[in-house]
Amino acid sequence: MTTTELAPIERTWRRIFPEMAAGGFGRWESTVQFYGRVNALLRPDSVVVDFGAGRGEFLDRPDSYPRRLQLLRGKVAAVIGVDVDPVVVDNEALDRAIVWRPGTPIDLPDASVDLVVSDYAFEHIDDPAAVVGELDRILKPGGWVCARTPNRWGFIAIGARMVPNALHSRLLRTLQPQRKTRDVFPTRYRLNSLRQLRSAFPAPRWEVHGYAVGEPAYVGSSRALTYVLFGVLRVLPMRLQPMYLFFVQKAPSREL
């Protein structure tokens, strides 16, 4: 694909981050960081739950290394999508889809899942205790919960909390013109900081590993804003970076 065939936002990023010419991703790409670790935890016989799988929005993007990392189907025994939105049944990245009503059990047996991946879903959770209880029930001892989500103390989450949920779609049309309105959902930010995760997934039953990362998002195709934001992200302390990557391991059965 030539530079002229790219979307405006992609052309902007490639001018600022020329390394994208080698593989199609920048040094800041949290998708590569997150799904690189997810893939490292997988085995061919793994059963994976995609919690908050949605319609599989990433499948809309052109083929690329980050997109191939995100596509887990075919790498493991089964990928099961769980979502409150019935659109999950149309997600072609799944082997099975479950429409889940919060407050009820997920339609999976106890200790039947090796890994739960949740990509930009934790910020929408209303009742963390109920969700964690169900993930605990379906996850095998020694299994992992992997989540990418906005950091509660990063500029994205702080800005979102200042804007009523009813106005999020309108604002995102300007900041993320490539994002479809149907992919915008109300935010809660009740499970989006290291402290919140450690409270929801307490030791010794769980071991929480997490770190914040920064990437220039929500700037549209503005080269000037991207430069400014990238400069700010380079000097921000880790606890204020906009994205958090969480990797939470359930204790092996001998430790429970």
Q: What tens digit of pLDDT does each residue of 95-138 get? A: 999 999 999 999 999 999 999 999 999 999 999 999 999 999 99
Q: What is the mean pLDDT of residues 200-215?
A: 93
How many C-beta atoms lie closer than 10 Å to residue 197's C-beta?
Answer: 24
Which run of H or E residues covers position 95?
none
Look at residue 153 and give its three-state secondary structure.
coil
| pLDDT at res. 2 | 39
29-71 pLDDT, tens digit per residue, is 899 999 999 999 999 999 999 999 999 999 998 899 999 999 9
Closest CA to 125 of 184, 185, 187, 81: 187
Task: Give the model's confidence band at 12: pLDDT under 50 very low, under 70 low, under 90 confident, else very high.
Answer: confident
Share of the chain above pLDDT 90, in %: 60
**pLDDT higher at 91 or 16:** 91
- pTM for the model: 0.83
| pLDDT at res. 171 | 47
| pLDDT at res. 3 | 41
| pLDDT at res. 246 | 97
| pLDDT at res. 163 | 59
| pLDDT at res. 175 | 45
On average, the pLDDT of the chain sits at: 86
**pLDDT higher at 78 or 9:** 78
Look at residue 49 and give its three-state secondary structure.
strand
Task: Give the model's confidence band at 237: pLDDT under 50 very low, under 70 low, under 90 confident, else very high.
Answer: confident
Task: Give the model's confidence band at 162: pLDDT under 50 very low, under 70 low, under 90 confident, else very high.
Answer: low
Closest CA to 71 of 88, 85, 56: 56
| pLDDT at res. 52 | 97
Among 31-35, 89-93, 165-169, the minimum mean pLDDT is found in 165-169
DSSP H stretches of helix in the chain: 8-16, 30-41, 65-70, 128-138, 155-162, 168-175, 194-200, 223-235
Task: Give the Cα separation of 149 and 191 in Å (integer).
Answer: 9
Q: What is the mean pLDDT of residues 168-195?
A: 64
**pLDDT higher at 16 or 79:** 79
Considering the domain 25-165+188-218+238-255 in this protein, what is its CATH number?
Answer: 3.40.50.150
